[in-house]
Amino acid sequence: MSHKRIPKRRAAMAAGGVVALGAAAVLLPNANASQDGGSPDAAPAPRTLKAADASDLASRLAGLLGDTFAGSYYDPGARQLVVNVVPGDDDQGVVEAKKAGAAVREVDNSMGELKSGAQTLKSRASIPGTSWAIDPRTNKILVTADSTVTGDRWDRLESTVQDLGSGMATVRKSAGTFKTFVSGGDAVFGGGARCSLGFNVTAGDGSPAFLTAGHCGVAADQWSDAQGGQPIATVDQAVFPGEGDFALVRYDDPATEAPSEVDLGDRTLAISRAAEAAVGQQVFRMGSTTGLADGRVLGLDATVNYPEGTVTGLIQTDVCAEPGDSGGSLFTQDGLAVGLTSGGSGDCTAGGETFFQPVTTALEAVGATLGGEGTGAGDADGVGGAGDASGDGGSGAPGSGADDDGAADGSGAGTGDAADGTGVDGSDGSHPTG
d(CA 300, CA 305): 15
Please work out, in degrees rounded to the nearest 5, the angle formed at the alpha carbon of residue 299 by the alpha carbons of 401 and 156: 155
d(CA 54, CA 394): 19
Report the phi/psi class of residue 84: left, alpha or beta, with left for phi > 0 and alpha for psi in -120 to 50.
beta
- DSSP 8-state code for residue 430: B
Q: Is 206 exposed, middle or buried (0-12, 13-18, 19+ CB in 10 A)?
A: exposed
Alpha-carbon distances, residue 162 vs 2, 115, 155, 165, 170 (angstroms): 53, 16, 10, 6, 9
- DSSP 8-state code for residue 409: S
Active site residues: 215, 245, 326
Q: Is 78 exposed, middle or buried (0-12, 13-18, 19+ CB in 10 A)?
A: middle
Q: How many helices (H) does the chain have, and how many strands (E)?
A: 6, 23
Among 136, 128, 79, 133, CA closest to 107? 136
Asked if residues 106 and 97 have their Cβ atoms less than 8 Å apart, the reply is no
d(CA 283, CA 395): 10
> Hey, CA dihedral for 227, 232, 236, 237, is it positive or negative?
negative
Helix (H, G, I), strand (E, B) or coil at 41: helix
Report the first-to-last Cα separation within the chain, whole angstroms: 27
Residue 76: is the preceding peptide bond cis (ω within 30°)?
Answer: no
Cα 295 → chain centroid: 10
d(CA 172, CA 156): 15
Asked if residues 178 and 342 have their Cβ atoms less than 8 Å apart, the reply is no
Q: Going by DSSP bridges, is the β-strand pair 329-331/282-287 parallel, antiparallel, or unpaired?
A: antiparallel
Strands (E), 288-331: 291-306, 309-317, 329-331
